[in-house]
Amino acid sequence: KGKAYVYHTDVKGETGYTVYYSTSSTTGFKKYANFGADTTMATITGLTSSKTYYFKVRTYIKTDSGYVYSAWSSVKSVLVR
């Protein structure tokens, strides 16, 4: 209850990825957390039961001059139980 699981397929060379969530499929996405490249499943907690949440992910590579980000993943919906 109050949880969602986000699965991430490893991308060669990535440093990590960031999970974003919203209650709208198109707007209002907020950063949940960064996860290391070796984490393939992120547990998202503190969600309201019986509500649909939308998630998207983008990977990043840390370089000497900053971060390089991938394009956004497609948005996926989850009905929290």
pLDDT in tens, the chain (81 residues): 899 999 988 888 899 999 999 999 999 999 999 999 999 999 999 999 999 999 999 999 999 999 999 999 999 999 998
Q: CA 47 to CA 24: how far, in whole Å? A: 14
Judge whether 53 and 80 are in contact, CB under 8 Å: yes
**Residue 9: predicted pLDDT:** 86
* pLDDT given for residue 31 in this prediction: 96
Structure tokens at 31: 């950063």
Q: Using CA atoms, how far apart are residues 54 and 21, in angstroms rounded to an integer?
A: 5
Q: Give residue 16's pLDDT.
A: 95
What is d(CA 36, CA 40) in angstroms, rounded to the nearest whole number? 9
CB 8 within 8 A of CB 17: yes
What is residue 15's predicted lDDT score, i.e. its pLDDT? Answer: 94
